[in-house]
Amino acid sequence: MQVLGIDIGGSGVKGAIVDSTSGELLSDRFRLSTPKPASPENLVKTMAQLVAHFDWRGKVACGFPTPFHNGKCITGGNLHKKWKGVHVADFFKKEIGNDFTVVNDADAAGLAEIYFGAGKDVSGTIIMVTLGTGIGSAVFLDGKLLPNTEFGHVYTDKGIVFEKYAADSIRKKENLSRRDWGKRLNKYFQHIEMLLSPNIIIIGGGASKKLEKFVDQIKITAPIVAATAQNEAGIIGAALAASNQQL
């Protein structure tokens, strides 16, 4: 099944045509900047541009950076408060015309790694953590997804949400060295390991390409590996969700 997979992030909206059976990208990836502000009326214009770039009339699947309940955004996440309560798939279909499947972005990235990447054939508890504008999480037990987890929103011992302390955007904003950022991530992953006792942790998002620059600062028992699909995992996993292999 061919699907236009789209990964919506805080800084960029990326898409490519995907073979959901193999996880292969059938086109070059195309990227547009996430509009500021990323309100529904602004973001849908960017989405329409991306769909038009591929001249795509088939199914579209999106990894979207908010948690969902019955298809509706629980919060606006790092996009815009106006997204709260919006049924995103219905909204995009109404405005753009294609059939849409929309899932949490970290869940999408995790699906790609479970089916085709670092989590394939790994039993037990697997955690996918995306490090970008925020911190996203996806949790799997023996290959089955527990959707819409938000482990980027656990708190530090100072009462700060970890997403506001250790996301890649914070590293850039505070001009942290990779070593110092790794120390912050060490606190985060020690907390996550205490809560969930994972068999493996997979790092996704843009930071997955630079894992070797900070992973030595993270002192936990579970192995930490980079996502095989790196920054394309969200695109591939969204397409998987659209093909109904796992939702």
Q: What is the DSSP letter of 226?
A: E
pTM: 0.92
One domain for residues 137 and 220: yes
CA 245 to chain centre: 18
CA 239 – CA 112 distance, rounded (Å): 9
- Within a domain: 115: no
- Within a domain: 144: yes
Backbone dihedral angles phi then psi of residue 61, each to the nearest 5 degrees: -125, 135
- Within a domain: 62: yes
- Within a domain: 91: yes
- Within a domain: 113: no
One domain for residues 146 and 189: yes
- Within a domain: 159: yes
Q: Where are the alpha helices (DSSP H) in the chain?
A: 40-53, 88-96, 105-116, 163-166, 168-173, 178-196, 233-242
One domain for residues 197 and 135: yes
One domain for residues 60 and 138: no
One domain for residues 131 and 191: yes
One domain for residues 133 and 171: yes
Q: What is the CATH number of the domain that holds 44?
A: 3.30.420.40
CA 147 – CA 229 distance, rounded (Å): 20
One domain for residues 39 and 131: no
One domain for residues 37 and 138: no
Q: How many domains does the chain have?
A: 2
- Within a domain: 126: yes
One domain for residues 85 and 38: yes
Q: Which regions of the chain are under pLDDT 70?
A: 244-247
- Per-residue confidence (pLDDT) for residue 247, from 0 to 100: 47
One domain for residues 59 and 156: no
- Per-residue confidence (pLDDT) for residue 244, from 0 to 100: 67
One domain for residues 212 and 237: no
- Within a domain: 114: no
Domain coverage including residue 36: 2-107+232-242
Q: CB-based burial of residue 188 (10 Å sphere; 0-12 exposed, 13-18 middle, 19+ buried)? A: buried
Would you say 39 and 23 are in contact if contact means Cβ atoms under 8 Å apart? Answer: no
Give residue-wise pLDDT tens across range 64-77.
999 999 999 999 98
One domain for residues 225 and 197: yes
